[in-house]
Amino acid sequence: MGFRDALFGKKKLAEPKLDRLFALATATVTLETELGLKSTGDAAVTFKPLSSGDFDRVDSDTDELLKATAASAGTTVERHTDTYGFEWVIVRDPDIEDLVTSVHLVASELTAKGFGAQLLAAAFKFEGGERPTYWIYGFKTGTFWPFIPLADGKNRENARELELKAKLETELPVEKDLTRWLGLFDAPI
């Protein structure tokens, strides 16, 4: 960012960190064997809405790419717009490695088309505890954090989230700043 940009209040948004996403596939062994958490095969990428013309172009390209790769892997993809207007690309695949790869593909395609700054997070759903557990990946920081929503849909199970952080921070790049652990309540997965 140059002096002129600072003077006029413009700042360049950071490009997303995509490669750390693959750490989740390697941490799956620990998630399953030590923590009893198994992937449901559901994940989603959420991003800020794009202008309709831009999004239609990117959406068409992404759909074609995903359909081509999904056919061989057994992955299904769908789109969803939430009540706040954020876009979600929902990916379903029983194999965690294919699931992570497909999420990476969606994020890479959006980034390649110039929309990396709009990427917010990816959510991966796991089961095996008292309630569903999500591992959220923040594209801006390249870090994960656990999210366990309570049944009321407004609160979260903080103690269990901190326990998961402690057990997986050697295997996953876990976000150290707890104020960044945003909950994705009402995620469509």
Per-residue H/E/C for 94-139: CCHHHHHHHHHHHHHHHHHCCCHHHEEEEEEEEECCCCCEEEEEEC
For residue 74, name the pLDDT band (cuts at 50, 70, 90): confident
pTM over 0.75: yes
Position 94 scores a pLDDT of: 95
Question: Strand locations in the chain, DSSP E?
Answer: 38-47, 76-81, 87-92, 119-127, 133-138, 143-147
Q: What is the pLDDT of residue 62?
A: 67
86-138 tens-digit pLDDT: 989 999 999 999 999 999 988 998 888 888 888 999 999 999 988 999 999 99
- 8 Å CB contact between 146 and 161: yes
Rounded average pLDDT over 12-41: 89
Beta bridge partners of residue 47, listed in sequence order: 87, 119
Which pair of tokens denotes residue 71?
């056919």
185: nearest Cα among 157, 159, 166: 157
- CA–chain centroid gap for 145, Å, is 10
What ranges do the domains of the chain cover? 13-180
> Cα torsion for 100, 117, 85, 101, to the nearest 10°?
-10
